[in-house]
Structure 1
Amino acid sequence: MGALSTPPTTALDAFLRQESLQADKSYLIQPMPDGGLVELSWREVGEQARRMAAYLTSLALAPGSKIGLLSKNCAHWIVADLAIWMAGHVSVPLYPNQTADSIKQVLEHSDASAVFIGKLDEWQAMRPGVPGDMPWIGLPLAPADDHIQPWETLLQAHEPLQQLCMPNPDQLATIVYTSGTTGVPKGVMLSFGSMYLSANNGLRLFNISAEDRLLSYLPLSHVAERQFIEIASLLSGQRVYFVNSVASFFEDMRRARPTVFFAAPRIWEHFKAYAQQRHGSAWSQLQMKLPLLSERKSQQVLADLGLDRVRYAVCGAASLPAALCRWFADRGLQIVEAYGMTENCGYSHLGRPKKIKAGYIGLPNPGVECRLTADGEVLVRSRAVMLGYYKDPVRTAEILDEDGFLHTGDLGEIDQEGFLRLTGRAKDIFKTSKGRYVTPAPIEALLLDNPLIADACVVGHDLPQPLALVRLSKHAHESPEQLQRQLDTFLVQVNDGLQRSEQLGCLVVISDEWNVEGGFRTPNQKLKRNVVEATYQAQLHLWLVAGKTIVWQQKAEEPA
């Protein structure tokens, strides 16, 4: 195959190399609903990928056809992606919690010719979004459906493809649709070369080798998980474990014992809540305070979370609250932050464990140039930047300038050493009726540092003063009277640190769920500010002038 004769330049090259070097080594470990485990070696992954590639070739699709991939994370997600590439096509991942309308939108916009369907929780609700005139290819954990062609049946019907389509680095590998925080999702075109560069340099930054272990649980349709788990493992040969379900998450963590781990702030909060539930006794808290016992207790807590072998812990997708970072640091786990976008393969900035600066993300990754516009917008340039938006040259020109810099839309500050601090989103800035501009993100970060608050959205366009809509966390067990007093005191503390024009007129405690199903969040759990503002627009002024510092949302059916 020649896999060892020349250095790899794409993820597919890298897979063939790993297959040659460690054919019988376990690569993908999939927990099954019945409690069992399925382990696939590199040889088995290659065998199945080639057979599925042979089936795709039998469809006589045009070279470079788009193939959808609709599934929760599982071992065969990666096998299917390899098969798509081996057959000379382009993969189009879809979030496994998307609505039928958004699935239809992505498949139609991407001109998909076929779709892989795998592990899903709400298949019947999604099914109307999948066009019936294209092949539906089932992964092994696909839902029961007569229209879905079973994986094993297709494997048995086709011999492994002998002549693989080997792409060049400049070739389109995948179209990753953004999560749509600001409107219609955009199809980000990523090349084989940009994905390889991002993952390969990431391996060097994390000092990752084939002896490392990863746990895949965030959607592989998201660029961070795609690069951090799939592409990185193809390049360096790590073993990849998968999560069976939300309920089994910590059991799966303890099985995998990952050595490198990436999570969004909400997941780190989940870890903390789980630890407090299981290690919140008075004796446990006392042990954490005693010098002779604290280190041992910290290790027990991390082992219970499945984090005791982690040597590199990373947070991305949103800012990590300082209090949460301190909680893990007190237990011996230092979390660093990463910054990137789908449009640059998630490859931009990373914190270094031995060189951390409070309030800053970190330094530019190797090969990344970063600068600020006069208005403070962060611009980055590297070979990891996308080819453009699919079928959208206008928006491509808006975000990629003539010099190749990507306009991130984020506002930031860069210190003398090159450390980057994000201060908000350019489009999120609003002007009050007094003509004062307010950047909500730093204020929201202050609010989210309080363990009582799970979500915060600062609004105030054309209002005399900003206010914050907040949702309480699961830690808020106090009585309404106690919560009122604590939030009152906290609001005073927050406002004391703000300029007068930024001070919050009140906190509005929202009882509604801000979830994906209600349209409040993107499939990767980012809050849609425009939806939040539109939902409560008619009540904002009334809440602000109610004369209360803490306002409790009343449902429409509740008496005023």
Structure 2
Amino acid sequence: MSAAFRLPLDAFYERETRHPRQRFLVQPTGGGQVETLTWADVGHQARCAAHWLRARELPQGSHIALISKNCAHWIIADLAIWMAGHVSVPLYPNLTADSVAQVLDHSEAALVFIGKLDDWPGMSAGVRSDLPTISLPLCPAGTFDFSWADLQRSSPIQDDPKPTADQLATIIYTSGTTGQPKGVMHSFGNLGFATTRGTQLFGLNESDRLLSYLPLCHVAERMFVELASIYTGQTVFFAESLDTFLTDLKRARPTALFGVPRIWTKFQMGVYSNIPAKRLDFLLGLPFIGKRVGHKVLAGLGLDALRIALSGAAPVPQTLLLWYRKLGLDVLEVYGMTESCGYSHIGLPGQNKPGWIGKPCPEVEVRIEPSGEVLVRSGATMLGYFKEPGKTAEAITKDGFLRTGDKGEEDAEGNLRLTGRLKEIFKTSKGKYVAPAPIENRLAVHARIEQVCVVGDGLSAPLGLCVLSAVGQQDAKGSARAGLHSSLEKLLEEVNGVLDRHERLRRLVVVKDSWAVENGFLTPTLKIKRNMIEAAYGARFEEWSERSEAVLWQD
């Protein structure tokens, strides 16, 4: 029997009442200045906006979209939507106009909040002219139907709306790696269950500080930043831009941080740009001073106050986890899906097993199908996909288990290891099945590789396609190219040395294109779109396979 838990708005009202003057949100406003909002400030603005939304007399439970980069008013608008009795539909702030139009149409959005964005002119065509728009503070220049100031002229609602646990709270659209994004429906109960259990697991409290920089529309940031702060009273700092990220990080000095492997790798590369890897490894290995060196490195990144460091959304190379451990920081892997509120498995301090994610989170049941697919069940499992009953039935078994689409295995202690995605596994012309993700993770440890995709459906042996990082591209243009080429050859040899014969890569191809959201190669969460990559380069797979060089450079 699951223990009781509070729902999100109840948790907010408690904070608003008990700690009205306590700092909640810290928003950069440019020029090194910040705006600090207390729980009372946030409550007042959300209640005024909720009054305005009620006055629109929309049907109860209407869907209201939110398009913005992370900022204080993203969270305030979300709270206002809930207080007004509606459903929030967040969109990624880097979508194309076509994708914006598709999500707004599919979600049946009745209104849309427009906030801080880098390319509003490129997105605006996706918003129908008859769909009312509301501009948030920090929004780009443009013509909008209403402003946040208009909403704030309404008097604040005086009641405390209390949605039920089974009431729809939000529709979160998946990033669409294999097709059109699906609208994942989560109830207030789903959010409350996952947040309550997760914050207890991590021991988060009012003294903790978070930096919000990954998209709030992604389930991980939504849960770990917005919902967790509401439940535990943490202070949320926001990043102003990529250029000010290090300054923002040092201002926040977060005590808890969620990152994706790419972010943790970028931190490492930033350190290596100041001190050679061999030199740092030597210093870290010295008795007595190694610990001080590690602390100094973390302080330079603004990470010296971290007590909870999490990585999710993709597997983390073990070498990267070990590197952070040498610095004195234990980065824990977490595993979850949009469909489970990101709540499923975690590696706990002192219990990490190399190559394994960790054990199920509290009250999560796990089942491994004969096919190897991992199934999970908990109070965080989605209600279903919006307007997709067929896909919902495919995703959730009759006894309530969620099909993750991931292949995996458990050890005797219940630790989970993922071995690939069911839909990504391909068959070579020799009839052998290959899971590309584990091979990609091995290739991705190279400091000059930004992205990688392993292909091989119908080929006699797999190929590795890679995009170089910005530094790698500079090396490729100059005298360092020969050294880079040799290091890629060595990488290929090392990776093939630990793979089964049928998995070994015949070639590693350095492609010329950049893979980005804008050109369709990446999802909004920066995951590769395999179908797009295979469509773009598939005509050359046979040619590349027949070449004799181990490492090829696309001409």
Tell whether the structures are fold-level matches, with TM greater than 0.5: yes
Give, in angstroms, the shift of residue 163 of structure 1: 3.4
Instruction: Report the aligned-residue RMSD.
Output: 1.5
Deviations 1:218-270 (A, max 9, x none): 00000000000000111111111000001111111111111111100000011
2:16 aligned residue = 19
| Partner amino acid, structure 2, of 1:381 | R
Taking a change above 3 Å as real, the CA distance of residues 299 and 223 of structure 1, as seen in their structure-2 partners, is: same
- The alignment status of 1:108 with 2:109, answered yes or no, reads no
Q: Where does 1:357-368 land on structure 2 (aligned, <5 Å)?
A: 357-368=353-364
Give, in angstroms, the shift of residue 284 of structure 1: 6.0
| Partner amino acid, structure 2, of 1:302 | L
CA distance in 1, matches of 2:547, 2:209: 54
Which of the residues 304, 328, 332 maps onto 1:332?
328
| Partner amino acid, structure 2, of 1:53 | A
1:132 aligned residue = 129
Taking a change above 3 Å as real, the CA distance of residues 484 and 282 of structure 1, as seen in their structure-2 partners, is: closer
Q: Is the 8 A contact 1:279 1:301 kept in 2?
A: no
Taking a change above 3 Å as real, the CA distance of residues 164 and 292 of structure 1, as seen in their structure-2 partners, is: closer
CA distance in 2, matches of 1:290, 1:388: 54
CA distance in 2, matches of 1:357, 1:8: 31
SS class of match (1:56): helix
- The alignment status of 1:76 with 2:70, answered yes or no, reads no
1:527 aligned residue = 528
2:293 aligned residue = 297
CA distance in 1, matches of 2:160, 2:106: 27
- The alignment status of 1:166 with 2:162, answered yes or no, reads yes
Worse-superposed segment, 278-287 or 498-507? 278-287
Give, in angstroms, the shift of residue 136 of structure 1: 0.8
Taking a change above 3 Å as real, the CA distance of residues 471 and 480 of structure 1, as seen in their structure-2 partners, is: same
| Partner amino acid, structure 2, of 1:155 | Q
Q: Is the 8 A contact 1:260 1:312 kept in 2?
A: yes
2:379 aligned residue = 383
CA distance in 2, matches of 1:552, 1:528: 21
CA distance in 2, matches of 1:490, 1:178: 33
CA distance in 1, matches of 2:149, 2:274: 42
CA distance in 1, matches of 2:511, 2:325: 31
Give, in angstroms, the shift of residue 479 of structure 1: 2.3
Give, in angstroms, the shift of residue 35 of structure 1: 2.3
Q: Is the 8 A contact 1:467 1:504 kept in 2?
A: yes
Worse-superposed segment, 223-232 or 280-289? 280-289
1:53 aligned residue = 50
Q: Is the 8 A contact 1:22 1:42 kept in 2?
A: yes
Deviations 1:276-305 (A, max 9, x none): 223449976654343232221211110111
Which of the residues 120, 124, 144 maps onto 1:123?
120
1:420 aligned residue = 416
Q: Is the 8 A contact 2:27 2:72 kept in 1?
A: yes
Q: Is the 8 A contact 1:321 1:445 kept in 2?
A: yes
Taking a change above 3 Å as real, the CA distance of residues 453 and 282 of structure 1, as seen in their structure-2 partners, is: closer
Worse-superposed segment, 536-545 or 270-279? 270-279
CA distance in 2, matches of 1:201, 1:26: 24
Q: Is the 8 A contact 2:5 2:193 kept in 1?
A: no
Which of the residues 435, 440, 456 maps onto 1:460?
456
**Identity percentage of aligned residues:** 51
| Partner amino acid, structure 1, of 2:38 | S
| Partner amino acid, structure 2, of 1:94 | L
Worse-superposed segment, 357-366 or 144-153? 144-153
SS class of match (2:273): helix
Worse-superposed segment, 428-437 or 47-56? 428-437
CA distance in 2, matches of 1:347, 1:362: 13
| Partner amino acid, structure 1, of 2:67 | L
| Partner amino acid, structure 2, of 1:482 | G
Q: Is the 8 A contact 1:87 1:164 kept in 2?
A: no
Is there any run of 5+ residues in structure 2 with no aligned partner, and where? none
| Partner amino acid, structure 1, of 2:396 | L
CA distance in 2, matches of 1:354, 1:498: 29
Which of the residues 73, 82, 88 maps onto 2:85?
88
Q: Where does 1:126-205 land on structure 2 (aligned, <5 Å)?
A: 126-156=123-153, 158-205=154-201
| Partner amino acid, structure 1, of 2:36 | E
CA distance in 2, matches of 1:245, 1:430: 39
Deviations 1:350-383 (A, max 9, x none): 1101210000000000110011110100000011
- The alignment status of 1:495 with 2:496, answered yes or no, reads yes
Taking a change above 3 Å as real, the CA distance of residues 145 and 372 of structure 1, as seen in their structure-2 partners, is: same
Deviations 1:198-221 (A, max 9, x none): 111111110111111111100000
Q: Is the 8 A contact 1:322 1:449 kept in 2?
A: no
Which of the residues 50, 59, 62 maps onto 1:65?
62
Taking a change above 3 Å as real, the CA distance of residues 480 and 284 of structure 1, as seen in their structure-2 partners, is: closer
CA distance in 2, matches of 1:408, 1:282: 40
1:273 aligned residue = 269
| Partner amino acid, structure 1, of 2:264 | W
- The alignment status of 1:225 with 2:226, answered yes or no, reads no
Give, in angstroms, the shift of residue 474 of structure 1: 4.3
Which of the residues 349, 354, 366 maps onto 1:353?
349
SS class of match (1:214): strand
Give, in angstroms, the shift of residue 473 of structure 1: 3.1
Q: Where does 1:203-214 land on structure 2 (aligned, <5 Å)?
A: 203-214=199-210
1:558 aligned residue = none
Taking a change above 3 Å as real, the CA distance of residues 495 and 8 of structure 1, as seen in their structure-2 partners, is: closer
CA distance in 2, matches of 1:81, 1:347: 21
Q: Is the 8 A contact 2:13 2:160 kept in 1?
A: no
| Partner amino acid, structure 2, of 1:536 | Y
Q: Is the 8 A contact 2:212 2:225 kept in 1?
A: yes
SS class of match (2:190): helix
CA distance in 1, matches of 2:501, 2:285: 39
Give, in angstroms, the shift of residue 122 of structure 1: 0.1
Normalised to the residue count of structure 2, the TM-score between the two structures is 0.96
SS class of match (2:211): strand
Q: Is the 8 A contact 1:8 1:14 kept in 2?
A: no
Taking a change above 3 Å as real, the CA distance of residues 40 and 178 of structure 1, as seen in their structure-2 partners, is: same
Q: Is the 8 A contact 1:9 1:169 kept in 2?
A: no
Deviations 1:464-500 (A, max 9, x none): 1111111223454472222222222222222222222
1:536 aligned residue = 537
Taking a change above 3 Å as real, the CA distance of residues 283 and 426 of structure 1, as seen in their structure-2 partners, is: closer
1:411 aligned residue = 407
How many residue pairs were aligned?
Answer: 547
- The alignment status of 1:397 with 2:396, answered yes or no, reads no
CA distance in 2, matches of 1:134, 1:54: 20
1:548 aligned residue = 549
Q: Is the 8 A contact 2:184 2:386 kept in 1?
A: yes
1:505 aligned residue = 506
Which of the residues 314, 319, 344 maps onto 1:318?
314
SS class of match (2:289): helix
2:241 aligned residue = 245
Deviations 1:517-545 (A, max 9, x none): 11111111111111111110101110000
Deviations 1:2-57 (A, max 9, x none): xxxxx862111100000111001110000112321100000010000000001101
Deviations 1:164-190 (A, max 9, x none): 432011100000000000100000000
CA distance in 2, matches of 1:160, 1:134: 25
2:436 aligned residue = 440
